[in-house]
Amino acid sequence: MKPFFNQPVGEVLQQFNVSPDQGLSSAEAKKKLEEAGPNQLASKKQKFIAVIFFEQFRSSMVVILLIAAAVSGVIGVMEGEGLTETFIILAILIVNAIIGVMEETKAQSSLDALNKMSAPRSKVLRDGEVTETVSTQLVPGDIVILDTGDIIPADMRLIEAVNLKIQESALTGESVPAEKSTEAIDTEDVPLGDRDNMAFSTGVITYGRGKGVIVSTGMDTEVGKIAGMLQSAQETETPMGKRLEQLGKILGYVALGICVLIFAVGMLYGNHWLEMFMMAVSLAVAAIPEGLQIVSTIVLAIGVQRLVKLNAIVRTLPSVESLGSTTVICSDKTGTLTQNKMTVVEGMVSGNRIDFRNPPVPEELSDDERILLNSSLLCTDAHLKMLPDGTHENAGDPTETAIVDIALALNLNKNEEDRKYPRVSEVPFDSERKRMATVNQMADGKLRVNVKGGLDEVL
């Protein structure tokens, strides 16, 4: 079977036996959900607290301390000195395990809370009606309605695209939104970033609108395949874990050597074998640093708390030391090291440059500068959402959201400008014209045309 991006829209719809105007029926969707499973990435099975607790006793250092506790107990009983030292060693190990469990379960709880908060919803066509549903309930064959600001819930073949642009930097690393179409692609081996008729899970629509039929969900999506590779990767021991493991082995060999040496010397001097054995074992136990494990755990826990204050979640304590031992980090730039966000740096009005990195006071803006900002706002399709805490969120093309941001910094609100000067007509942006135009009704009742686009095309 040909890849979906090679197939015309009609073939894809026929393959899923779905109408672009009716969508799936509720019964069909329910049946497919049972077959394909929920539209979500598989997560590793959470461990029980008891399992996490006993995992804290796996290192050779802890094993040696357990052996030391047992030997101390035997010696204490035989010599009538009690079990004080045994209880102290066991208490240290239990406190060490409790700290490890607390930090790991706390991190998992934070991740679970974030996952619940970020569960997106999508507009889907079912039984001929558009309904909003949780994205995890979507199935292959569903027709999804796409608008500016929506997050792509699953991989889909586009069946309608009107000036559609999708930000796919999370998947492809490209900072510029990809322009989309519905035409079938003739070439078979096409990179993800060049599949213009496909929309991939986690993408964000920055401009235009469209409609798509879902072709894969959950772990079958491109993002799911990446998640599968990450989950199948084998966990390696941290540098600190390797050093503690090596230290534990060395201490074990040293303790064994002490036992053998003292026992042999005592026997040469004619001492009783049981007396020499007890002495050798006592000295070997004394040579083991019981406090090393708890000290290292406490230090790592302090590091975790410092990272928490910087909004970082650490799932396991040893990860803190791994981060500190890292010498080279290979990372995608867009959206990881950068905010994947454009800003207006400079403008020009009537031959005068405006440095927006140090914006002027709003009251000192000239009439021409106000007209420039006003026209720029009216000729954008970005959305501005003011939040209760006084901050704001933007949705739309990165270039347009940059204009909205700088205008808001100069006391020009996109929403208020749209209300005062309603849009009467528009010519949307397209890749051939490389410009867009809007017609707005001004305060005096007259109409004004605002044009925005490439420099050569506008001039």
For residue 426, list its beta bridge partners. 438
For residue 124, list its beta bridge partners. 131, 144
**3-state class (DSSP) for residue 406:** helix
Query: How crowded is residue 197: how many other Cβ atoms within 10 Å of its Cβ?
Result: 24
Query: How crowded is residue 259: how many other Cβ atoms within 10 Å of its Cβ?
Result: 19
Q: Are 315 and 104 in contact (CB under 8 A)?
A: yes
User: Of the residues 332, 418, 430, 444, which is catalytic?
Assistant: 332
Q: Are 144 and 166 in contact (CB under 8 A)?
A: no
With DSSP H G I counted as helix, E B as strand and the rest as coil, what are the percentages for the chain, rounded to 5? 50, 20, 35
Q: Own/partner pairs for 429-435, CB < 8 Å, 24+ apart?
A: 429/163, 429/207, 429/453, 430/163, 431/179, 433/457
Gap between the Cα atoms of 9 and 18, Å rounded = 11
Q: Are 18 and 32 in contact (CB under 8 A)?
A: no
Closest by CA position to 54, among listed 107, 114, 94, 111 = 94
Helix-helix angle 292-309:239-268, to 10 degrees: 170
Query: How crowded is residue 198: how many other Cβ atoms within 10 Å of its Cβ?
Result: 25
Q: Does residue 194 carry a catalytic annotation?
A: no
Q: Which amino acid is at 147?
A: D
For residue 121, list its beta bridge partners. 134
For residue 157, list its beta bridge partners. 198, 213
Tokens of 110: 């934070």
Query: How crowded is residue 140: how many other Cβ atoms within 10 Å of its Cβ?
Result: 23
Gap between the Cα atoms of 150 and 147, Å rounded = 6
Q: Are 146 and 204 in contact (CB under 8 A)?
A: no
Q: Are 160 and 201 in contact (CB under 8 A)?
A: no
Helix-helix angle 292-309:318-325, to 10 degrees: 70
Gap between the Cα atoms of 107 and 193, Å rounded = 34
Closest by CA position to 398, among listed 333, 341, 337 = 341
Gap between the Cα atoms of 199 and 178, Å rounded = 10
Active site residues: 332
